[in-house]
Amino acid sequence: MSQQRDVFPFNAARDLLFPPRCVGCGELLPPFARRVAVFCPLCRTAWETAVTEADANATADAAGGLVYLVHYRPGHADGIPEKLVYHLKHEGDPRVFRFVAEGLSPRLSDAAATLPSRKPERDTNPLLFTYPPRRRSAVREDGFDQAERLAKALARACGGDFANLIRRTHRKAREQKTLNAEERAVNAASSYILADKAAEAVRDRTVVICDDLCTTGATLNRCAVLLVEAGARSVILCTVARTDSRGGGKD
Ligand SMILES: [Zn+2]
């Protein structure tokens, strides 16, 4: 298990200059809370309730290979999970990635232990983490790729490996969120290909594909197919949130 420690006193100085704020409500958090706290006590309770609610519906998804923490309800701008997903996409605070990685890590261990496998012997390799890259223009806008940061934070939290296994094709891909389910599948199939040397890296490994949000699963499924065809032993899909269609999602 690798541990990432903040380096005192650099982070103490940073906390004084830029005190950490609650991801849910924006309230100032107590000084020096940066490493552990993401939410104020009130938002923390709301987050834990959202995780419990998502768990009640998660059985079917776990069997289908998707591990996630909460539901994302489009249009619920005030929801705590919605604010956290927004934060991951646009703010990029490392403590928030660490927070979700620590929440997902035990679930991933459980999923890996119960995976159906084509091979009878146990997989003794550490999990291998990767992600579907965003469009370059989106990465330029925010300065980072949240799925990449999530994959790296998870690799650290789980003591696993990280590799860039998937890349985007250069064609002008359409943005997934503007498409319906069928169009998303077609678009995803032509938008992602294996990275160079990915086939060597994935042979007989259990690969975890990480993303912030799963809507129809078209992107994750496309990447899973690529990795299985390349020789991965098994694939686990892992997102922070899954779109809750009961909340009025587009698809
Ligand atoms: Zn709060």
Percent of the chain residues past pLDDT 90, beyond the cut: 53
The DSSP element (H or E) to which 193 belongs, if any, is: strand 192-194
Predicted pLDDT of residue 4: 45
Strands 66-72 and 234-243: parallel
Q: What are the extents of the domains in the chain?
A: 58-247
pLDDT, tens digit, 9 for 90 and up, residues 168-180: 987 666 677 778 8
CA distance 131 to 28: 32
Q: How far is the CA of 31 from the centre of ligand 1 (A)?
A: 15
Strands 166-168 and 192-194: antiparallel
pLDDT at 248 over 50: no
Q: How far is the CA of 242 from the centre of ligand 1 (A)?
A: 22
Q: How far is the CA of 187 from the centre of ligand 1 (A)?
A: 38
Q: How far is the CA of 107 from the centre of ligand 1 (A)?
A: 25
Q: Which fold has domain 58-247?
A: Rossmann fold (3.40.50)
Q: How far is the CA of 105 from the centre of ligand 1 (A)?
A: 24
- Which positions ≥6 away from 172 have C-beta within 8 Å? none
Q: How far is the CA of 19 from the centre of ligand 1 (A)?
A: 14
Assessment of whether the complete model's pTM goes beyond 0.95? no
Q: How far is the CA of 162 from the centre of ligand 1 (A)?
A: 32
CA distance 174 to 224: 20
CA distance 39 to 41: 6
- Which positions ≥6 away from 8 have C-beta within 8 Å? none
Q: How far is the CA of 28 from the centre of ligand 1 (A)?
A: 8
**Environment of ion ligand 1 (residues, CB < 5 A):** 22, 24-25, 27, 40, 43
Q: How far is the CA of 38 from the centre of ligand 1 (A)?
A: 8
Percent of the chain residues past pLDDT 70, beyond the cut: 81
| In the block, residue with structure tokens 């985007």 | 168
